[in-house]
Chains A and B, each alone.
Chain A
């Protein structure tokens, strides 16, 4: 470690209109350390990242590069200075090869300005070798998994001699194996003297990867400290500013009739011969790696995709294939994985979104009763403790956690007997996460059958009465609460024999 931090913020403040996104925040990133940035949604993490990346310029305070004050005129300037940012969803050119993406704009040349492909591919191979990544430089980036795309982005950063790597929630869309591979790459970089700033909502990852952690709350600096002296609860307390109680409060509920029955469901090339049932009062988790076919099973059950063979019944009534309308009518609800595209109509208001699933119920004569629409929204907003200014505001102004509550409200308002939730807490802050867990537990207590898809293993183990595990389109295990451990789930998820 050198004396001056590789990159630092000193007493930085930044406001947008009346909103003070950062207030007097300081942060020091040293070469050779992995530094975590923790905080709830809206704590100012993104603003801080964008300030480091040269997107925002601080209103007051300074950015210091190797101890010297610098002003980044823009992202290109920051890149030039050796600061690289890896975002959650990388933006590669899909039709170009991996190597072309890495050397975009700086391709090695031969005579007459021709691109030296061989040199480019060799350099890429050498980079991948250093990172311990097995990817083909000549492969087009289209079709790469998000995890692989991130590795390409990292390789690109390294090829530009980046000395500071900022990773904004890189693991949100990755499966367990992919996270492990990413971490080994990050670890290698750190040992080579890179400074890493790592952002994640998954606290376990912070403890696993990082040496120090800086916590923000409501735009203010709370603490910067070594990770080793902290417990999980300490960190949560700093982020939330209060005690949370237990994060996974699944209470025992009376298990009743079978509400959802799935028999030998098959969609060719996607999943095969999937059979299971969920009873009233139960929370059943569907675990597995990303790409194992979990969301696809949920989509087929709900009817947004067709199935090729098999049957689905809700409360003993068989559903026709491919009709969400029929599934809804039978008492199914699906809180989908992609909130912004599938869960909500971002342009519409909170009340219109909540009303969208009840257009029939809200009728008074031929027209919609605005009062009924507003009452429905108000009722659920209160029950789910939604934070909002006006119900007529667009859902787009809400934070991620509150948007998720609107999706839940819209479906709970239909009075479902089976609730399918796909990654219910992805990308939402710890406080809201605990609320969502409490809510799911309450719903089970009220006799709703809950099927929960989650890539968050502690969540699966904490919440589920039973755990179903999928691997490459097939169910590979059904584990009781007692049998389900991190190891038994991962073993089944990776397809190794139990």
Chain B
């Protein structure tokens, strides 16, 4: 019974309900074409959510991801304009993202600043840099073989390349988070940082690494985004950090750290994606879409608190179990 009531399982059920509702109300919803589009439209959010999950489990957060995406996009545009080969541009953009992550990480681990504040600051800073790099221009006409990588399906399947990449990375993050010592460390750090440090876990080094990974993934998502739309702009991906964090929290990761599963996050990402898609099909304005994202974020933070009011009873049962077993 308790297993069924788990948050991530409930999000999965909700996902199925939304899917069913969509197929019944909109004839164009449950088609391979639309779903494939919905998935790839979700690609960048999904990729960034993987790295964000690890950060939030460790009780940190990176709000600068959308700006790193924008900066990466701007770099791709400006370097392409300058005549560099796309093969050279992509590593540079991704490296720049890693650097952005390193700056976030150093500010948090060396100076002990709260990541929420640091990354709100760099959210503005990196977006500003993106405008410095590219201004208001849009750069297009990228080589077709690269653009097709970002939009085409893996041959013989209805799965776009970015989605395939997501599946691969999700598998890796899933193993790292749930089956390795590194993953165990993240949960320990998120739940009780001092105790993790006292157990010999290199807390600062791990956190620094997470920020670098987050920046790298965001920059890579920026490359995918640019190629997919065939347009490099400094304001690309504006505001998607909210969708990413909504997906992670909706997936049952505790904002205070220490709790959550990757399965839940994937369900959360898909749920957000389907809802956005349904709203789009229903011709709902972007303002309403934004309202829905915001509400989902609040609901996903609020609900576990309400559930936890029912927790003491469960704890008491566990205590009595321990006592019964313990008494000779």
Binding site for B on A (CB under 8 A): 16-19, 42, 218, 302, 304, 324-325, 327-329, 334, 336, 341-348, 352, 355-357, 359-360, 362-363, 366-368, 387-390, 393-394, 396-398, 402, 410
B157 at the interface (CB under 8 A from A): no
What would 16 A/B residue contacts be, using CB atoms closer than 8 Å? A19-B316, A19-B320, A325-B201, A343-B195, A344-B195, A348-B191, A352-B184, A355-B184, A359-B201, A366-B175, A367-B179, A368-B179, A388-B325, A388-B326, A397-B322, A402-B326
Q: List chain A residues, Cβ under 8 A from B319.
A: 19, 397
Q: List chain A residues, Cβ under 8 A from B118.
A: none
* CA gap between A362 and B324 in the complex, in Å: 31
B302 at the interface (CB under 8 A from A): no
B105 at the interface (CB under 8 A from A): no
Q: List chain A residues, Cβ under 8 A from B327.
A: 218
A324 with B322: in contact, given A17-B313, A356-B188 (CB under 8 Å)? no
Nearest CB of chain A from residue B16's CB, rounded to whole Å? 28
A410 with B191: in contact, given A17-B316, A19-B320 (CB under 8 Å)? no
Binding site for A on B (CB under 8 A): 175, 179-182, 184-185, 187-188, 191-192, 194-202, 258-259, 313, 315-327
Q: Contact between B317 and A18 (Cβ–Cβ < 8 Å)?
A: yes
Q: List chain B residues, Cβ under 8 A from A393.
A: 318, 321-322
A342 with B179: in contact, given A356-B201, A387-B325, A388-B325 (CB under 8 Å)? no
Q: List chain A residues, Cβ under 8 A from B188.
A: 345, 348, 352, 356
Nearest CB of chain B from residue A304's CB, rounded to whole Å? 6
Q: Contact between A368 and B321 (Cβ–Cβ < 8 Å)?
A: no
A347 with B198: in contact, given A17-B320, A393-B318, A396-B315 (CB under 8 Å)? no
Please pick, from A16, A329, A348, A367, the residue contacting B316 in the complex, using a CB distance under 8 A: A16
Q: Contact between B198 and A334 (Cβ–Cβ < 8 Å)?
A: yes
Q: A347-B192, A387-B326 are in contact. List 15 more A-B contacts (CB 8 A).
A: A19-B320, A42-B323, A324-B198, A345-B188, A346-B192, A356-B184, A356-B196, A356-B199, A359-B185, A366-B180, A387-B325, A389-B318, A389-B321, A396-B315, A397-B318
Please pick, from B187, B315, B324, the residue contacting A348 in the complex, using a CB distance under 8 A: B187
Q: Contact between B315 and A397 (Cβ–Cβ < 8 Å)?
A: yes
* CA gap between A410 and B198 in the complex, in Å: 11
Q: List chain A residues, Cβ under 8 A from B313.
A: 17
Please pick, from A19, A328, A394, the residue contacting B200 in the complex, using a CB distance under 8 A: A328
Q: List chain A residues, Cβ under 8 A from B202.
A: 325
Quick one: closest B residue to A341, CB to CB? B194
Q: Contact between A359 and B184 (Cβ–Cβ < 8 Å)?
A: yes
Q: Contact between A387 and B322 (Cβ–Cβ < 8 Å)?
A: yes
A357 with B199: in contact, given A347-B192, A387-B326, A396-B315 (CB under 8 Å)? yes
Please pick, from B191, B320, B323, the residue contacting A345 in the complex, using a CB distance under 8 A: B191
* CA gap between A329 and B323 in the complex, in Å: 36
Quick one: closest A residue to B321, CB to CB? A389
* CA gap between A363 and B180 in the complex, in Å: 8
Quick one: closest A residue to B179, CB to CB? A367
Q: Contact between B181 and A363 (Cβ–Cβ < 8 Å)?
A: yes
Please pick, from A18, A345, A410, the residue contacting B192 in the complex, using a CB distance under 8 A: A345
Nearest CB of chain A from residue B110's CB, rounded to whole Å? 14
Nearest CB of chain B from residue A430's CB, rounded to whole Å? 16
Q: Contact between A324 and B197 (Cβ–Cβ < 8 Å)?
A: yes
* CA gap between A402 and B326 in the complex, in Å: 10
**5 closest Cβ contacts across the A-B interface?**
A359-B181, A387-B326, A367-B179, A328-B200, A347-B191
Q: List chain B residues, Cβ under 8 A from A359.
A: 181-182, 184-185, 201
Q: Contact between A19 and B184 (Cβ–Cβ < 8 Å)?
A: no
Nearest CB of chain A from residue B295's CB, rounded to whole Å? 28
Quick one: closest A residue to B192, CB to CB? A345
* CA gap between A389 and B318 in the complex, in Å: 8
* CA gap between A387 and B325 in the complex, in Å: 7
A342 with B317: in contact, given A348-B188, A355-B184, A387-B322 (CB under 8 Å)? no
A19 with B318: in contact, given A342-B194, A346-B191, A348-B188 (CB under 8 Å)? no
Q: List chain B residues, Cβ under 8 A from A341.
A: 192, 194-195
Nearest CB of chain A from residue B214's CB, rounded to whole Å? 21
Quick one: closest A residue to B324, CB to CB? A389
Q: Contact between B180 and A347 (Cβ–Cβ < 8 Å)?
A: no
Q: List chain A residues, Cβ under 8 A from B182.
A: 359
Q: Contact between A347 and B259 (Cβ–Cβ < 8 Å)?
A: yes
Quick one: closest A residue to B187, CB to CB? A348
* CA gap between A2 and B230 in the complex, in Å: 92
Q: Contact between A360 and B181 (Cβ–Cβ < 8 Å)?
A: yes
Most central of A19, A394, A410 by chain B CB within 10 Å? A19
Q: List chain A residues, Cβ under 8 A from B191.
A: 345-348
* CA gap between A374 and B99 in the complex, in Å: 40
* CA gap between A403 and B188 in the complex, in Å: 17
Q: Contact between A304 and B323 (Cβ–Cβ < 8 Å)?
A: no
Quick one: closest B residue to A344, CB to CB? B195
* CA gap between A327 and B323 in the complex, in Å: 36
Please pick, from B199, B201, B258, the residue contacting A347 in the complex, using a CB distance under 8 A: B258
Please pick, from B175, B198, B258, B323, the residue contacting A342 in the complex, using a CB distance under 8 A: B198
Nearest CB of chain A from residue B325's CB, rounded to whole Å? 5
Q: Contact between A389 and B322 (Cβ–Cβ < 8 Å)?
A: yes
Q: List chain B residues, Cβ under 8 A from A348.
A: 187-188, 191, 258
Nearest CB of chain A from residue B198's CB, rounded to whole Å? 5
Q: List chain B residues, Cβ under 8 A from A366.
A: 175, 180
Q: Contact between B200 and A357 (Cβ–Cβ < 8 Å)?
A: yes
Nearest CB of chain A from residue B33's CB, rounded to whole Å? 38
Quick one: closest A residue to B315, CB to CB? A397
Q: List chain A residues, Cβ under 8 A from B201.
A: 325, 356, 359
Quick one: closest B residue to A358, CB to CB? B181
Q: List chain A residues, Cβ under 8 A from B259.
A: 347
Q: Contact between B181 and A362 (Cβ–Cβ < 8 Å)?
A: yes
Quick one: closest B residue to A345, CB to CB? B192
* CA gap between A42 and B322 in the complex, in Å: 12
Q: Contact between A368 and B198 (Cβ–Cβ < 8 Å)?
A: no
Q: List chain A residues, Cβ under 8 A from B194.
A: 341-342
Q: List chain B residues, Cβ under 8 A from A347.
A: 191-192, 258-259
